[in-house]
Chains A and B, each alone.
Chain A
Amino acid sequence: MNALKKLFGGNTRQFGMIFALVALIVFFQFATDGRTLTPGNVINLFNGNSYILILAIGMVLVIIAGHIDLSVGSVAAFVGVTVALAIRDWGIPWYAGILLGLGLGVLIGAWQGFWTAYVGIPAFIVTLAGMLLFRGFNQFVGKSNTIPVPADFQYIGSGYLPEVGPNTGFNNLTLLLGLLGVAFVVFSELRARRTAKALGAEVPEGWVMGTKLALVCGAILYATYLFATGRPGTSFPIPGLILAVLVLVYGFISSKTVVGRHVYAVGGNRHAAELSGVQSKKVNFLVMMNMAILAGLAGMIFVGRSTASGPFDGVGWELDAIAAVFIGGAAVTGGVGTVIGSIVGGLVMAVLNNGLQLLGVGADLTQIIKGLVLLIAVAFDVYNKSQGKRSIIGLLTQNFNRPSGGAPLQPDEVTSTKETIAREA
């Protein structure tokens, strides 16, 4: 257990979610007699959930900043129908349609960001209004009709990497992508280790890193194999590619840039952030706007996939995205959460959905199970916190952990009481 913890870092929650995801996949693989990890099913799983995962990326930032966005489904639908109409009626090309959709996302985001950040209306209310507003716009603009989109636009929602180069029996671009992924993981891990060493920070033992790299690279290569060996004409899906790029970009923004730092700071303690010079209104405006842009993108991908825009696109998406974020370890109070965690959370829900479907479980039972999973995942988190941030796994393994310099819990309690007295007296 201790070794496992070392492998995945000290964050037991994230470790728990990855562990749960792997366990789920293994379970369904056996329960469905191997129908889970087939190329066709995995491709399907990505195609059918990429838009929710894209929403989860935006949603985790909103939730880290301490807000929530209920309007994403309606925004996605409104952007989808507008773009579909523009392509059909004005004859604009597919790329102009995408730009139009993103631009519309900017406008909608500015609207919601204005009310949330500058007027100070809770995002819950602003986006609840937005949910009604943009659903209405969708049905008004599209006259509640289904509006088809041309094949070139469908490519962003249902396309695959093309076949190029020599016939290797695999999809060559998918292979290339997988190898690039492996190279990237190995390179960044080695570089992080080298700088950490140079700075005199603690680095894990060599075998820990080796095993971690082997596991992660093995997973990537296996996924590559699955995607590259699908039925002819299929390979790594375009929505998956868009998602992968977004995960990299937003993972980088949230953890490595000034803006990302500010989002966490505002969500963690808005007053402290403001007294450190963070312009919290601007930050809140930006996360709300970003969410709407990503919602627009998700809407367009969905329209591309389903070949047409309809009046009920995106119904209930906000709840799936929010669930993914919370399963992925974000805190309702803000300040906590990661992009990658939310993706894992979203995949847990997706695999659950898919596996239950393969098993022939009805929609009723599926919903019950998903509801319970969400509740239990968050209950686990709340329980951890009430236990002084030690998880069940932590409790089981605490005797094996070396006493790490004795982080002083006791003095902290003393001071806090002292401070309380000082304040009260």
Chain B
Amino acid sequence: MTSENTHKDPVILEMRSITKEFPGVKALADVNLRVKAGEIHAICGENGAGKSTLMKVLSGVYPFGTYTGDIVYQAEVQQFKDIRASEHAGIVIIHQELALIPELSITENIFLGNEPVKRGVIDWAEARTRTRELLARVGLREDPDTPIKEIGVGKQQLVEIAKALNKSVKLLILDEPTAALNESDSQHLLDLILGLKGRGITSIIISHKLNEIEQIADSITIIRDGKSIETLDVKADGVDEDRIIKGMVGRTLESRFPDHEPKIGEVLFEVKNWTVGHPQVQDRLVCKGSNFFVRRGEIVGFAGLMGAGRTELARSVFGRSYGRFITGSIYKNGKELHLKSVKQAIDAGLGYVTEDRKSLGLNLLDDIKTTTVSAALHKISKHFVVDANKEFTVAEQYRKSLRTKTPSVEEGVAKLSGGNQQKVVLAKWMFTDPDLLILDEPTRGIDVGAKYEIYGIIQQLANQGKGVIVISSELPELLGLSDRIYTIFEGAITGVLNKDEASQESLMKLMTSARKAAA
């Protein structure tokens, strides 16, 4: 399992049987991590495997006492009570969402909370001089007084590293450092991490981009379902992308999908040359000329890692509710649609169930019946007056048919469990009677039993001749549910596989690189 040559290299960090529980969920179970001094250690795993939780335990975000197991750092058992304590010991974490203040200058950000003081007054001259040195070390040529908001994400990432260096970092943790960067910025960052390694700084890097890991990592620890599976030595074990993927997905597919005989008809919905820009960043594209279609009665999966642009694609198609529309056309039953608002999209027979149920899908102040009818109020109102009886009847009907567990439809949705909330959201969209329903992570945060029921609902919708798009990070779910699967990588569709030719390995390959599939 672990590499054998650890006695030769001094170990800077060892995390021993770390277990972290949240009420009802074991996020980490008996995880072991061993990082040698001066190496670049990658942590790989699917979304939700527990990588970030492990790093939060290490950096003191989850303080000592909230987990079990030992953190041995520089040959001492550590009990970090907060981030300050871990930073004091030289462990610095750089999160995926950068912790910089846009309005402040580079210098002010680097010295935030750590200002050099001379006789009670901040010594900005000193701070600026040191900032210049730090920026030179990370290879960033910018004026220290430039506000953070005026430099790009790639450079901001470098400022974060400069900030870490200023804290005399010994162990640098980078969570998805290149997720938001373009290729040349990513390469620069990877070179910098290699450079830091030359100066004796150990790094732990979490990334979904396996080619990058293959390129710079010395060892790789794979985490799956909250357990550490294996640690690979890149050089000694001859690790390549396929080997990592095998470790990441290496679970067997259980039969947890209802039986389903697809009855697929003609093309219902087609999107051509769909290109959308990022809502804020001027020349960044979130969808790059995507083409796809959905047939009647077909369940189409969209596979892609987080940040690949799946949600962006779905939401921009759904009445341009995300991003800046650039080009593209939408056809339904061969006729072109012009959907400029969500209302138009709903009227045209589209539905979109968001991945972020709590902040985008539900008004948590509402009760079940209000939520059920909220996207199709016109169906239960006359002269703009809502018919409360119809509302109740409709909600009650969906409560029964979807078997939502609740004492009554007048219960607040905030009180329901995740699975039942999702059923209410599904009811809301089923009541709009869409021809095409887009489901974005329909089973996120839902327990196994409710998942099975939701799969059943999805198949039922397809059987009624509707088109269904399922976006999911769980490959087994996509493989079990979909008739056809598109893969997305960095905003572009990289392939499409039929049910019989798709496997976790083939999908993961298409999801992690721009290689076009032969399919």
Q: Which of B45, B47, B407 has the most CB of A within 10 A?
A: B407
A261 & B416 in contact (Cβ 8 Å cutoff): no
Q: Is A414 an interface residue (CB 8 A)?
A: yes
- The verdict on A425 contacting B50 (CB below 8 Å), with A275-B352, A277-B342, A405-B407 known, is yes
A residues 408-425 touching B (CB-CB < 8 Å)? 408-422, 424-425
Q: Nearest Cβ in chain A — how far from B513, in angstroms?
A: 22
Instruction: Identify the closest chain A residue to B409 (Cβ).
Output: A201
Instruction: Identify the closest chain B residue to A198 (Cβ).
Output: B389
Interface residue from A195, A200, A258, A424 paired with B384 (Cβ < 8 Å): A258
Interface residue from A269, A404, A422 paired with B47 (Cβ < 8 Å): A422
Kindly list chain B residues whose C-beta atoms are within 8 Å of the C-beta of A143: none
B342 & A414 in contact (Cβ 8 Å cutoff): no
B378 & A258 in contact (Cβ 8 Å cutoff): yes
Kindly list chain A residues whose C-beta atoms are within 8 Å of the C-beta of B321: 274-275
A residues 353-404 touching B (CB-CB < 8 Å)? 404
Kindly list chain A residues whose C-beta atoms are within 8 Å of the C-beta of B25: 414, 417-418, 421
Spot the interface stretch: B79-87, B361-369, B475-483, B490-498. Answer: B361-369
Q: Is B41 an interface residue (CB 8 A)?
A: no
- The verdict on A199 contacting B51 (CB below 8 Å), with A261-B374, A279-B343 known, is no
Q: Is A162 an interface residue (CB 8 A)?
A: no
A419 & B416 in contact (Cβ 8 Å cutoff): no
Kindly list chain A residues whose C-beta atoms are within 8 Å of the C-beta of B389: 195, 199
Kindly list chain B residues whose C-beta atoms are within 8 Å of the C-beta of A231: none
A residues 274-323 touching B (CB-CB < 8 Å)? 274-279
Interface residue from B385, B393, B416 paired with A257 (Cβ < 8 Å): B385
- A275, B356: Cα distance in complex, Å: 12
Instruction: Identify the closest chain A residue to B50 (Cβ).
Output: A425
Kindly list chain B residues whose C-beta atoms are within 8 Å of the C-beta of A336: 365
Q: Nearest Cβ in chain B — how far from A38, in angstroms?
A: 41
Q: Is A99 an interface residue (CB 8 A)?
A: no
B408 & A202 in contact (Cβ 8 Å cutoff): yes
Q: Is B242 an interface residue (CB 8 A)?
A: no
Kindly list chain A residues whose C-beta atoms are within 8 Å of the C-beta of B345: 277
Q: Is B65 an interface residue (CB 8 A)?
A: no
Q: Nearest Cβ in chain B — how far from A286, in angstroms?
A: 13
Q: Which of B23, B345, B370 has the most CB of A within 10 A?
A: B23
Interface residue from A261, A407, A418, A424 paired with B24 (Cβ < 8 Å): A418
Kindly list chain A residues whose C-beta atoms are within 8 Å of the C-beta of B50: 421, 425
Q: Is B278 an interface residue (CB 8 A)?
A: no
Q: Is A335 an interface residue (CB 8 A)?
A: yes
B359 & A269 in contact (Cβ 8 Å cutoff): yes
Chain A interface size, under 10 / 10 to 19 / 20 to 34 / 35 or more: 35 or more
Q: Is A84 an interface residue (CB 8 A)?
A: no
B48 & A404 in contact (Cβ 8 Å cutoff): no
Kindly list chain A residues whose C-beta atoms are within 8 Å of the C-beta of B415: 407-409, 412
Kindly list chain B residues whose C-beta atoms are within 8 Å of the C-beta of A200: 396
Interface residue from A271, A335, A409 paired with B365 (Cβ < 8 Å): A335
Q: Which of A199, A412, A425 has the most CB of B within 10 A?
A: A425
- A419, B444: Cα distance in complex, Å: 7
Q: Is B346 an interface residue (CB 8 A)?
A: yes
Q: Nearest Cβ in chain A — how far from B104, in angstroms?
A: 23
Q: Is A272 an interface residue (CB 8 A)?
A: yes
Q: Nearest Cβ in chain B — how far from A200, in angstroms?
A: 8
Q: Is A340 an interface residue (CB 8 A)?
A: no
Q: Is A259 an interface residue (CB 8 A)?
A: yes
Q: Is B446 an interface residue (CB 8 A)?
A: yes
- The verdict on A425 contacting B377 (CB below 8 Å), with A259-B384, A268-B366, A418-B418 known, is no
- A261, B384: Cα distance in complex, Å: 10
- The verdict on A415 contacting B53 (CB below 8 Å), with A258-B384, A421-B27 known, is no
Q: Is A273 an interface residue (CB 8 A)?
A: yes
- A273, B365: Cα distance in complex, Å: 12
Instruction: Identify the closest chain A residue to B352 (Cβ).
Output: A275
Kindly list chain A residues whose C-beta atoms are within 8 Å of the C-beta of B354: 272, 275
**A101-133, CB under 8 A of B: which get 1 and which 0?**
000000000000000000000000000000000
Instruction: Identify the closest chain B residue to A270 (Cβ).
Output: B363
Kindly list chain B residues whose C-beta atoms are within 8 Å of the C-beta of A411: 24, 417-418
- A223, B444: Cα distance in complex, Å: 56
Kindly list chain A residues whose C-beta atoms are within 8 Å of the C-beta of B419: 415
Q: Nearest Cβ in chain A — how far from B340, in angstroms?
A: 12
- A271, B321: Cα distance in complex, Å: 10
- The verdict on A421 contacting B48 (CB below 8 Å), with A259-B384, A275-B354 known, is yes
Q: Is B375 an interface residue (CB 8 A)?
A: yes
- The verdict on A415 contacting B361 (CB below 8 Å), with A274-B321, A279-B341 known, is no
- A420, B386: Cα distance in complex, Å: 36
Interface residue from A276, A278, A425 paired with B52 (Cβ < 8 Å): A425
Instruction: Identify the closest chain A residue to B377 (Cβ).
Output: A258
B364 & A268 in contact (Cβ 8 Å cutoff): yes
A419 & B27 in contact (Cβ 8 Å cutoff): no
Q: Nearest Cβ in chain A — how far from B360, in angstroms?
A: 5
Q: Is A265 an interface residue (CB 8 A)?
A: yes
Kindly list chain B residues whose C-beta atoms are within 8 Å of the C-beta of A275: 318, 321, 342, 352, 354, 360-361
- A279, B384: Cα distance in complex, Å: 15
Instruction: Identify the closest chain A residue to B27 (Cβ).
Output: A421
A271 & B359 in contact (Cβ 8 Å cutoff): yes
A199 & B393 in contact (Cβ 8 Å cutoff): yes
Kindly list chain A residues whose C-beta atoms are within 8 Å of the C-beta of B447: 415
Q: Is B64 an interface residue (CB 8 A)?
A: no
Kindly list chain B residues whose C-beta atoms are within 8 Å of the C-beta of A256: 385-386, 388
Interface residue from A259, A277, A335, A412 paired with B346 (Cβ < 8 Å): A277
**B432-466, CB under 8 A of A: which get 1 and which 0?**
00000000000011110000000000000000000
- A224, B354: Cα distance in complex, Å: 53
**B31-49, CB under 8 A of A: which get 1 and which 0?**
0000000000000010111
Q: Which of B47, B378, B388, B417 has the most CB of A within 10 A?
A: B417
B52 & A424 in contact (Cβ 8 Å cutoff): yes
B363 & A419 in contact (Cβ 8 Å cutoff): no
- A278, B376: Cα distance in complex, Å: 10
**B374-406, CB under 8 A of A: which get 1 and which 0?**
110110010011101100110010000000011
B381 & A414 in contact (Cβ 8 Å cutoff): no
- The verdict on A417 contacting B24 (CB below 8 Å), with A272-B361, A277-B342 known, is yes
A404 & B384 in contact (Cβ 8 Å cutoff): no
Q: Is B155 an interface residue (CB 8 A)?
A: no
Instruction: Identify the closest chain A residue to B343 (Cβ).
Output: A277
Kindly list chain B residues whose C-beta atoms are within 8 Å of the C-beta of A410: 23-24
A258 & B392 in contact (Cβ 8 Å cutoff): no
- A31, B77: Cα distance in complex, Å: 70
Q: Which of B25, B414, B416 has the most CB of A within 10 A?
A: B25
Q: Nearest Cβ in chain B — how far from A10, in angstroms?
A: 10
- A268, B414: Cα distance in complex, Å: 12
Kindly list chain A residues whose C-beta atoms are within 8 Å of the C-beta of B361: 272, 275
Q: Nearest Cβ in chain A — how far from B447, in angstroms?
A: 8
Kindly list chain A residues whose C-beta atoms are within 8 Å of the C-beta of B385: 256-258
B386 & A261 in contact (Cβ 8 Å cutoff): yes
- A425, B43: Cα distance in complex, Å: 12
Q: Nearest Cβ in chain A — how far from B7, in angstroms?
A: 32
Which residues from chain B sit less than 8 Å from chain A, CB to CB?
22-25, 27, 45, 47-53, 56, 318-319, 321, 341-343, 345-346, 352, 354, 357-366, 370, 374-375, 377-378, 381, 384-386, 388-389, 392-393, 396, 405-408, 410-411, 414-419, 421, 428, 444-447
Some 7 contacts from A to B, beta carbons below 8 A apart, are A268-B363, A268-B366, A269-B360, A415-B419, A419-B358, A421-B25, A424-B56
Which residues from chain A sit less than 8 Å from chain B, CB to CB?
195, 199-202, 256-259, 261, 264-265, 268-269, 271-279, 335-336, 404-422, 424-425
Beyond the given A201-B392, A410-B24, A415-B421, could you list 17 further A-B residue pairs with CB under 8 A, ordered by the A residue number? A261-B386, A272-B360, A272-B361, A272-B363, A275-B354, A276-B342, A277-B341, A277-B375, A335-B365, A406-B407, A412-B416, A412-B418, A417-B25, A418-B418, A421-B48, A425-B50, A425-B53
The 8 tightest CB contacts between A and B, nearest first, are A415-B418, A405-B407, A414-B24, A419-B445, A411-B417, A268-B363, A417-B22, A276-B375
